[in-house]
Structure 1
């Protein structure tokens, strides 16, 4: 049976969404955003990840991503999510200033116990819903969606004012990670 959401070719870019279990607002804290960004940078340098666009929101991340062919995109996504999950968990467990620690760790532990392919902990929801960006129209629509997320949420008036987004790069303002421009 064919899956509706699947990475079918390594030659295209895909729109993906990584969502924290139960939509927990983990990325309100800079430390957690930095762990995610460090993992993206590592995957860019060592695994061939190409980032065409991204936006980190409080409880999810949207990206338009592809690969140089060095590794399969689904493997890069797996490694990116696995690394961030382990390191955010470790940081959270060892951070005495995280006031929501017990509550969030309990929810993530329960989420992991309810899934057969997790051992005892789940940070990310398991699906990414990859959508192939195989036309310029689809690509522009998805990138606009990514960049306008913080505006729609009421965080900023201009997409390029959101620090944790590639909208800055598309307006000639250097962002936080290297961008592979899609148009």
Structure 2
């Protein structure tokens, strides 16, 4: 990744995209989606993660987030990816996933020649981190992630998709508590 796509500024909001290796559709199973959801909740409660927007698609996760306290967003994201990778791969290995052999083979080969990977690599390197530099850029990215499920023809309206902050912004029951941004975004 280029240096302009890394998390550098502490306590600044970033638009992040975390992608599964080979664009494998891991998050078509609710049990895998819930691992992501519960890990995000854990990071909120224990690692200072502040989520301003999110959307989990079949093979990637979009986040607009920052951190508070002594926590650095890059550390939180690193720990999140490490934990969810181990948990999801373990679930696939121990569960009844119909695509188990194919998925595990792909995760194995994705990490085979990387010294830092012990067995399997679920997430691609990098997070395509873009700093949120203005309210208009924030809303451009928020609308983009909220409309992902509409563009993929999963739902007709963004707020109908359960695994997204579009529900929060539409004042509907949501799976994850977030900080609603209301035109007062603090940037540079």
TM-fit CA distance, 1:116: 3.7
Q: Which residue number corresponds to residue 68 of structure 1? A: 68
Q: Does 1:29 align with 2:29?
A: yes
* Contact 2:17 2:62 (8 Å CA) reproduced: yes
Q: Which residue number corresponds to residue 16 of structure 2? A: 16
Distance 1:11 1:68 in 2: 6
Q: Does 1:172 align with 2:171?
A: yes
TM-fit CA distance, 1:11: 2.5
Q: Which residue number corresponds to residue 114 of structure 1? A: 113
Distance 1:161 1:113 in 2: 39
| TM-score normalised by L of structure 1 | 0.96
Gaps of 5+ in 1: none
Q: Which residue number corresponds to residue 157 of structure 1? A: 156
* Contact 1:10 1:69 (8 Å CA) reproduced: no
* Contact 1:112 1:118 (8 Å CA) reproduced: yes
* Contact 2:6 2:126 (8 Å CA) reproduced: no
Where does structure 1 differ by over 2 angstroms across 4 or more consecutive aligned residues? Answer: 114-117
TM-fit CA distance, 1:115: 2.6
| TM-score normalised by L of structure 2 | 0.93
Please report the RMSD computed on the Cα atoms of aligned residues, expressed in angstroms: 1.1
Deviations 1:106-149 (A, max 9, x none): 10000011334322210000110110012001000000001000
Q: Equivalences for 1:33-112 in 2 at 5 Å?
A: 33-95=33-95, 97-112=96-111
Distance 1:111 1:93 in 2: 16
* Aligned-partner SS, 1:63: strand
More off after superposition, 46-55 vs 2-11? 2-11
